[in-house]
Amino acid sequence: MIPDKNISKKFLYILNNAKNVLITSHLNPDGDAIGSCIALSYYLDGIGIKNEIVLNNLPSDSLSFLNGFDKIKTDTDTKSFDLCVVMDLSNRARLGKVSNYLDRCEYILLVDHHVPDEVFGDFRIIDSSAPATTYVLTRMFQMERVSITPQIANALLIGIVTDTSHFRNQNTSAASLAVAAYLMEQGGDLLEITTKTLERPKEGITLVTYAYNNLKICSHGKVCWTSLPFSIFESTGTDESHSEGIVNDLLNISGVEYAVIFKETNPGFIRVSFRCVPGKDVAKVANIFGGGGHVAAAGCTIEGNLDDVMPKVINELDKCLESTV
């Protein structure tokens, strides 16, 4: 459903008449999750409506440059909310512990751009053709002529920039660029967002080196994968956040259509991230292992050790490859 004027009107009506709003999104929040939460929080602040952003866990430090980052909390003492706005979320389980707080909310409003795999909430605005949740929000603000401050513009812009992989994946379109341009006109700082979100933490360099030293290319050069065992995180004092972006780099190798990274973030738990070039689909492979995501970027967590998990996943990916050739 692409929100039209009626839906935008209803969305703003619900927001403007709320008294105390819980704003939330998925666990391991990304740029789009926090961008949509922070933008909405600033909007509600602007019209004097009490609101809190509560997420299962804090986003990675690489996003901490964004104004409003310090609004994000991981719990709340508030006993009841008359409205909860859930963003960028297709499955209630991905709320993590915040799921428990939904019982304290009278009305649940969902804004998202995933193909939903679970229907919940009292009113849903889901545009699965949109490149980002912040795009959906921006379009509704535009239709209702809501004035966008530079802080709101920045928060909205980060969602579009990160969900389009810096305007490089298939979410990039004339429409997403036009909305990004509009947000720049409202004070969004594209240069800062692209620079900061592409920065790699110094601690992460050992992980990059390890990942490149151990990468494998198979399936006639179409599949590239690598792994980071728990021991490397442990010996370098790093965590998963320091390894962000490595899987995207693998996809830059010429001829590679699918990239996978296996991260043993805790002993016995392997986080798998998939990426693929336009026209291919990694969400269906992630789904097989109980994960999810978008066609071009997906992930899952599998219990087991690297030696067992890696061949299983690569095998499934190979099957997919055969069926799409």
Interaction site with Mn ion (CB under 5 A): 32, 88, 133, 163
- At which residue do the structure tokens 């109980």 appear? 290
CB of 126 to Mn ion, least distance (A): 12
Nearer to Mn ion, 47 or 115 (CB): 115
CB of 47 to Mn ion, least distance (A): 25
CB of 215 to Mn ion, least distance (A): 28
Distance separating alpha carbons of residues 251 and 256, to the nearest angstrom: 6
Distance separating alpha carbons of residues 305 and 215, to the nearest angstrom: 17
CB of 267 to Mn ion, least distance (A): 30
CB of 59 to Mn ion, least distance (A): 13
CB of 32 to Mn ion, least distance (A): 3
Q: Which of 65, 57, 99, 25 is nearest to 240 (CA)?
A: 57
CB atoms near residue 271 (< 10 Å): 19
Nearer to Mn ion, 32 or 52 (CB): 32
What does residue 269 show for φ and ψ, rounded to 5 degrees?
-125, 120
Nearer to Mn ion, 46 or 245 (CB): 245
Distance separating alpha carbons of residues 71 and 320, to the nearest angstrom: 42
Nearer to Mn ion, 56 or 226 (CB): 56
CB atoms near residue 135 (< 10 Å): 28
Nearer to Mn ion, 30 or 257 (CB): 30
Q: In the 8-state DSSP scheme, what is residue 167?
A: T
Nearer to Mn ion, 204 or 293 (CB): 293
CB of 108 to Mn ion, least distance (A): 19
Nearer to Mn ion, 7 or 89 (CB): 89
Residue nearest to Mn ion (CB): 32
CB atoms near residue 253 (< 10 Å): 12
Nearer to Mn ion, 117 or 308 (CB): 117
What does residue 88 show for φ and ψ, rounded to 5 degrees?
60, 40
Task: Give yes or no for a contact between 142 and 178, defined as CB atoms under 8 angstroms apart.
Answer: no
Vertex 191, ends 190 and 197: CA angle to 5°?
85
CB of 169 to Mn ion, least distance (A): 12
Supply the Cα-derived Rg of the chain in whole angstroms: 20
Q: Which of 155, 148, 109, 152 is nearest to 11 (CA)?
A: 109
Distance separating alpha carbons of residues 150 and 66, to the nearest angstrom: 12
